[in-house]
Chains A and B, each alone.
Chain A
Amino acid sequence: MSVDEDRMTASQVEQWLAALPLDELRPAAAARIEAACLARMRRRYQWLPEWRSPLLDALGLALALLLGSGYLLETLARALAVYGVHLY
């Protein structure tokens, strides 16, 4: 086969690939996967509303305390440093 013929074939490759029919998932496997996913969704979305709000509130409070105390400590350290420099 010549190089030109090879090139022609290469240009047709995508058309052939696009025309390939899809392989079908076995009905039993498809049903099993769907059932597993729906079960996972039910667990996830039934569990979250009950716990998400208090959990997020607690996390928010902890984060605010950490940031707030960090800010206070930094301010105090700066004040002490300025005062120390002033005394020196």
Chain B
Amino acid sequence: MNDVMGGEHAGESALLERLRAGDEAAFGALYAEYRNRLFSFLLRLSGRPALAEELCQEVWLRLVTHPPEPKPGVPLGAWLYRVARNLFISYLRSRNMDPTRTCELTAIQLRPSLQPGPLEELAEKEMKGILRTALAGLPLAYRECLLLVAVSGLTHQQAAEILELTAPALRKRLSRAREMLAQRLARPAKTGQEGE
């Protein structure tokens, strides 16, 4: 998952150049490479599959309408996540929703099917479910930070540019996000142990 920064970037730049020239096959290749990554990012950001699909389509349409120039060392993912994140923020603003409170809605949307018990008894699938729920419950500022760096594999510098933060501010926020997530993951276990 974190391979977006690897040697494939040169090939990706070539694909982007071809896309800018109107090559449909190049679009197909980039779409195949990023469609699930982008959808996952948007789903985890918004917590709503229908909205994630809608925003996903808008991002891809923007790519074909105004494809970015390839930049050395910068994967297309950085551009896609930036556009996706800005669209999501615009969506929240258009609905007069407070981005700092979206965690409540996201957590509610992702909660079904997850009934966390003691960590020792959880299967891997359930653990991932808990992780998703805990991630969804983080405030947007911390969630997007983790999604960009830990899940999508962008560098701190790339994530800082997308989030319009300085590198030290990003590191601080990332550290806080990890701590918050860890606390949320620890809570069910603690509760379960106390109940025994």
Q: Residues on A close to B: CB < 8 A?
A: 1, 5-7, 9-14, 16-26, 29-30, 32-34, 36-38, 40-42, 44-45
Contact (Cβ within 8 A) A33 B24: no
A14-B150, A17-B150 known; A37+B131 contact, CB < 8 A: no
Contact (Cβ within 8 A) B36 A22: yes
Main secondary structure of the interface of A (DSSP, over half): helix
A17-B150, A20-B132 known; A6+B178 contact, CB < 8 A: no
Contact (Cβ within 8 A) A18 B53: no
Contact (Cβ within 8 A) B186 A23: no
Report chain B residues within 8 Å CB of A25.
Answer: 35-36, 39, 53, 56
In the bound complex, CA of A10 to CA of B182 (Å): 5
Report chain B residues within 8 Å CB of A11.
Answer: 178
Task: For the complex formed, measure the closest distance between the CB of A14 and the CB atoms of chain B, giving whole angstroms.
Answer: 4
Against A, the Cβ 8 Å flags (1 = close, 0 = not) of B130-166 are 0110010000000000100111010000000000000
Across the interface, name the chain B residue whose C-beta is closest to A25: B39
In the bound complex, CA of A1 to CA of B185 (Å): 11
